[in-house]
A and B are shown apart, each in its own frame.
Chain A
Amino acid sequence: MMQTYLLCYENMRMTDQEIIELINSSLSEEFELNMKDMVPEAFLFKDLGLDSLDVVDMVIVLENAFNFKIREEEAIRKIRTLGDIHNFVVKKKREIENKL
């Protein structure tokens, strides 16, 4: 019971803004992106210069930063902008929290 409570607390600690900041800093570090370019409207391919190979590494970076697994999810394939990534991760975090 105590462990479940602590796990719940652990996952509930991050606000939406904290999640967004962790996404931005993790991707910025991995891909050497300028933080000033990390706006929600930024297209991954066109504006941030990422390609299909980078998406493979992006998944690993997000999994390590948020300690969850991203399976072959439909939602990942629809990601076009940085804002799409923000929404995807926030949604996934909340899903995990609600299950606990």
Chain B
Amino acid sequence: MYRVAITGIGIVSCLGNSIETVGEALRRGKSGIIVDENRKKLGFRSPLTGAIQDFDPKKVLPKKKRKTMPDFAVQTYSAVMDALWMSGLSQKEIQNEETGLIFGCDSSCIAAVEQVELLREHGETKSIGSGLVFRSMTSTITMNLNTLLKTRGACWTISSACSSGGHAVGQAADFIRLDRQKRVICGGAQEINWESMCSFDGLGAFSTRIEEPKAACRPFDLHRDGIVPSGGAAALVLERYDLAKKRGAKILGEIATYSFSSDGSHISVPSQNGLQIAMRKALKTTNMGPSDIDYICAHATATPAGDAAEAESISAVFGPKTPWVSSLKSMTGHELWMSGASQVVYSVIMAQHGFIAPNINFEEPDSSSEKLSIVENTINRPPRKVLCNSAGFGGTNSCLILEFNE
């Protein structure tokens, strides 16, 4: 089995659209959450959301190419191009059967709404145009990337709610480990618009701390009151470690292992031990002990139940003295389908820039989170062995362990 190197990263997020900007925001504990006034008018319970600033799709791709791409697919392309540039791989080196694309995404709402509206307005399907059918599928990400990049290996999009990005990166790493692909461009993407969030808002799961948007997302805090939705796109280039070394690529880190589990329990409330099982499996496959992990990039979305379940799982696995733990969702909000992948990108950024980002808005623990060593202020040393958790509706869990040795 082969080692899996990370040789490139790219991101479009509410913290910024470049590695430098995002790194600075993470280090300073800066939040990307705003109030969307339109959501207030529409009847949302919570108008809070992450927002992508200063991203113009027209500057990234021409109109003809954008026709089949919703905005989050254009953001993914932009993140992928940044990651490829960082990796130093040429076009020729990726246009083959050994290079794959695996991304996580679980919705594409706007196109579905638009095509229905056009048909109702015009009374014939001819008037819908050629682009919407491709935009309306969640695999629009890999569908479009394949035609733009001309890779010829794996090409699909994984859907598993908020663990989509985690499973996508994990599966990509496994394919390389098992020599099914030499390199895989992977990641996750999440649309930001009210149409895709209205039914989620209807569950009452979002924070309503509207008067203080930057303080609204409070993972592990006693006074947390729910999720703040967010989004964007995160991309990584994973390669066979030996091949990356051979061509002189800079190794940003390694995916040491990927493991998964599912709860077999409730559709929206996490079980007490599902994530625990995934974490134990991950440690077992790497022959690491709990004390080898020095940082946990938690899933913790700031729901009362979810954060408690994760805290108990972490405590059960890691004992009374846990590694440092922070949920970056305190700054980014919950990037949903993108989050499992963006955690990896954020972890690489922290390792490269020499810090561990804080879990902002953590003022008082509850009986579960008090068992954790929460990062309250930025730690000025890089993480070495990072465990990234992500979990989705239906109780699907992903656990990645990253190593930063170089």
Contact = CB atoms under 8 A, between A and B. Distances in A.
Interface of A: 30-32, 49, 53-54, 56-57, 59-60
Q: Which of B62, B68, B130, B131 has the most CB of A within 10 A?
A: B130
Contact of A32 (B63, B68, B129, B130): B63
Interface residues of B, number: 10
Contacts, number: 24
Contact of B126 (A32, A49, A60): A60
Contact of B64 (A32, A59, A60): A32
A54 B130 contact: yes
B18 to A, nearest CB: 27
A59 B126 contact: yes
Q: Is the interface of B mostly helix, strand, loop or mixed?
A: loop
Contacts of B68: 53
A31 B130 contact: no
Contacts of A57: 67, 129-131
A92 to B, nearest CB: 16
Interface in B94-142: 126-127, 129-131
B129 A56 contact: yes
A57 B127 CA distance: 8
Interface in B300-346: none
A53 B62 contact: no
A60 B63 contact: no
Interface in B164-199: none
Nearest to A52: B130
Contacts of A30: 63
B129 A54 contact: no
A57 B131 CA distance: 9
A56 B130 contact: yes
A3 B20 CA distance: 65
Nearest to A56: B130
B62 A32 contact: yes
A54 B129 CA distance: 9
Contacts of B126: 56, 59-60
A60 B127 contact: yes
19 contacts: A30-B63, A31-B63, A31-B64, A32-B64, A49-B64, A53-B67, A53-B68, A53-B130, A53-B131, A54-B130, A56-B126, A56-B130, A57-B67, A57-B129, A57-B130, A59-B126, A60-B126, A60-B127, A60-B129
